[in-house]
Structure 1
Amino acid sequence: MTTSAVSIEKETVISERPHTFLRQTDGEDNGSIRSRFQSMILEMQESVCGALEALDGAGKFKEDAWTRPGGGGGISRVLQDGAVFEKAGVNISVVYGVMPPEAYRAAKASAAGQKSGPVPFFAAGISSILHPKNPFAPTLHFNYRYFETDAPKDTPGAPRQWWFGGGTDLTPAYIFEEDIKHFHSHRSERRGLGGIFFDDLNDYDQEMLLSFATECADSVVPAYIPILEKRKDTPFNESHKAWQQLRRGRYVEFNLVLD
Structure 2
Amino acid sequence: MIEKETPETQRPYTFLRETDDDNHSDYSNSVRARFEKMIREVQDSVCSAIEAVDQGGKFKEDVWSRPGGGGGISRVLQDGAVWEKAGVNVSVVYGVMPPEAYRAANPSQNDNTKSGPVPFFAAGISSVLHPKNPFAPTLHFNYRYFETDAPKDTPGAPRQWWFGGGTDLTPAYIFEEDVKHFHSVQKSACDKFDASFYPRFKKWCDDYFYIKHRGERRGLGGIFFDDLNDYDQEMLLSFATECANTVIPAYIPIIEKRKDMPFTDSHKEWQQLRRGRYVEFNLVYDRGTTFGLKTGGRIESILVSLPLTARWEYDHQPEDGSEEWKLLDACINPKEWI
Normalising by structure 1, report the TM-score: 0.91
Deviation sequence 1:211-245 (CA, Å, 0-9, x none): 11111101111000000011011111222112211
Seen in structure 2, the aligned counterparts of structure 1 residues 257 and 177 have a Cα distance that, compared at 3 Å, is same
Q: Structure 2 CA distance, aligned partners of 1:89 and 1:144?
A: 14
What amino acid does structure 1 have at the position aligned with 2:5? Answer: E
- Could you tell me which of 248, 251, 276 is aligned with 1:221? 248
Seen in structure 2, the aligned counterparts of structure 1 residues 236 and 162 have a Cα distance that, compared at 3 Å, is same
Shift of 1:258: 4.7
> Is 2:149 the partner of 1:138?
no
Give the match for residue 3 of structure 1. Answer: none
Give the match for residue 220 of structure 2. Answer: 193
Secondary structure of the 1:26 match is coil
Of 35-44 and 186-195, deviating more is 186-195
Counting only pairs closer than 5 Å after superposition, residues 66-145 of structure 1 correspond to structure 2 as: 66-105=64-103, 107-108=105-106, 109-145=108-144
The 8 Å contact of residues 26 and 35 in structure 1, kept in 2 or not, is answered as no
Q: Which runs of 5+ in 1 are unaligned?
A: 1-6
The 8 Å contact of residues 172 and 193 in structure 1, kept in 2 or not, is answered as yes
Shift of 1:106: 5.1
Seen in structure 2, the aligned counterparts of structure 1 residues 208 and 111 have a Cα distance that, compared at 3 Å, is farther
Deviation sequence 1:71-114 (CA, Å, 0-9, x none): 00000001112111111000011000012345435533334422
Deviation sequence 1:96-143 (CA, Å, 0-9, x none): 001234543553333442244432110011111101111110011111
Seen in structure 2, the aligned counterparts of structure 1 residues 202 and 226 have a Cα distance that, compared at 3 Å, is same
Counting only pairs closer than 5 Å after superposition, residues 1-259 of structure 1 correspond to structure 2 as: 7-26=1-20, 28=24, 29-105=27-103, 107-108=105-106, 109-181=108-180, 182-183=182-183, 186-187=206-207, 189-259=216-286
Secondary structure of the 1:167 match is strand
Seen in structure 2, the aligned counterparts of structure 1 residues 106 and 232 have a Cα distance that, compared at 3 Å, is closer
What amino acid does structure 2 have at the position aligned with 1:196? Answer: I
Q: Structure 2 CA distance, aligned partners of 1:119 and 1:132?
A: 39
Deviation sequence 1:134-157 (CA, Å, 0-9, x none): 111001111111110122334433
Secondary structure of the 1:229 match is helix
What amino acid does structure 2 have at the position aligned with 1:206? Answer: Q
Of 249-258 and 239-248, deviating more is 249-258
Secondary structure of the 1:110 match is coil
The 8 Å contact of residues 137 and 232 in structure 1, kept in 2 or not, is answered as yes
Shift of 1:255: 2.8
Q: How many residues align?
A: 253
Seen in structure 2, the aligned counterparts of structure 1 residues 76 and 107 have a Cα distance that, compared at 3 Å, is closer
Q: Structure 1 CA distance, aligned partners of 2:99 and 2:262?
A: 54
Q: Which has the higher strand share?
A: 1
What amino acid does structure 2 have at the position aligned with 1:137? Answer: A
Of 179-188 and 18-27, deviating more is 179-188
Shift of 1:19: 1.0
Of 66-75 and 111-120, deviating more is 111-120
Secondary structure of the 1:234 match is coil
Give the match for residue 4 of structure 1. Answer: none
Identity %: 79
The 8 Å contact of residues 128 and 142 in structure 1, kept in 2 or not, is answered as yes
Deviation sequence 1:32-81 (CA, Å, 0-9, x none): 11111111110110010011111111101110000000000000001112
